[in-house]
Amino acid sequence: MTDPLRLGIAGLGTVGTGVVKIVQRQADLLARRCGRPIEITAISARSRDKDRGVTLSRYAWEDDPVALARRPDVDVFVELMGGSDGPAKAATEAAIAAGKDVVTANKAMLALHGQALAEAAEAAGRVLRFEAAVAGGIPVIKALTEGLAGNAIDRVMGVMNGTCNYILTRMDNAGLTYEQAFAEADGLGYLEADPTLDVGGIDAAHKLTLLAAIAYGTKVKFDAIELEGIGAITIEDIRRAGDMGYKIKLLGVAQMTGRGLEQRMSPCLVPATSPLGQLEGGTNMVVVEGDSVGQIVLRGPGAGEGPTASAVMSDVCDIARGIRVATFGVPATALEDAPPASAASPACYYLRMELADKPGALAKVATVLGEAGISIDRMRQYDHPGENAPVLIVTHKAARPDLDRALAALPGTGVVMGTPVALRIEDV
């Protein structure tokens, strides 16, 4: 029988424990599918004595993940500690230097250091795999690097943070305020220790920049992403968007344009009848548009023990089978340094504002928009008990700089109360 593939697992949290369970429970199935046994030889975590609900006594223990990465009885270093720097990065670098293949679920580390790590791994003749780093159990990395390798990718977009989608769904379905839905998600344990990673869009943006690198053969550049979280979304926006046939989603979009590589993670309106509009709860969805295949939709759980561990094991199985693919689909040294787009592509926009209830108010707003080159597609005014009238406007396609110029001029009309809300309407 072929020698077993020996794993060293660093990090025994939810995902690491899930990987151990799969290896133990599916040993025979994995051996049949991979053509060789898959075994765990050594592990590392912060606490040796914690009860993780799985038997670990048969594995060697290392307090230091770097020492684990260098062990001679480890063929594949599985990094599940998390964190963009620190032990995760040090141990990954040590594993590559020691001639190990690496499987990781660490989107933050790859978003910030993916280029250097990919170059190091490929120079050493090793593979660095990260299916579990993006969209949990959805095999989107494999889809882009392998299944869609014959396509020029026109656009990649998706909902890639289940916590944000849960909050927005609960606001919509239960009529909760943002603060109420946030507290509910926190009580269920959905939020990161630093909640801004979720609701600030940072977690999802890490994932988007990895997808963009694969889709367009570009170097990973997290700091080039246009980033906005969901903290400013109100229940009024949820309701008003619904009245006009839209849902609000934290949507990531990457596309190559004549202005450069466009990468944005921001709240957007999408048609309520679209696949993205119908996505509810903590589920993720990635939409890929290729020149030959057209549009494909990948939907599934974006986090959790089982789904993420499943993605880790898909990479482990590929290594066991001898499948060796460049980290981002093409050699790391061939990745291009694409300039960020100077501005987002034109789009329709949803505008919500409150106007003083007096003659000529709407005309003044329309004049400001028109002077900025923005035309109105449709408009709706709501009944109101007070002095100010809530008004919704959907524009025809406009460039964001033109819209920003109009938004800056609106307070000068004397009829716009407060700060208008402007959300992009994504064509899906």
Residues involved in catalysis: 207
Q: What's the chain look like in SS3?
A: CCCCEEEEEECCCHHHHHHHHHHHHCHHHHHHHHCCCEEEEEEECCCCCCCCCCCCCCCEECCCHHHHHHCCCCCEEEECCCCCCHHHHHHHHHHHHCCCEEEECCHHHHHHHHHHHHHHHHHCCCCEECHHHCCCCCCHHHHHHHHCCCCCEEEEEEECCHHHHHHHHHHHHHCCCHHHHHHHHHHCCCCCCCCHHHHCCHHHHHHHHHHHHHHHCECCCHHHCEECCCCCCCHHHHHHHHHCCEEEEEEEEEEEECCEEEEEEEEEEEECCCCCCCCCCCEEEEEEEECCCEEEEEEEECCCHHHHHHHHHHHHHHHHHCCCCCCCCCCHHHCECCCECCCCCCEEEEEEEEEECCCCHHHHHHHHHHHCCCCEEEEEECCCCCCEEEEEEEECCECHHHHHHHHHHHHHHCCEEEEEEEEEECCC
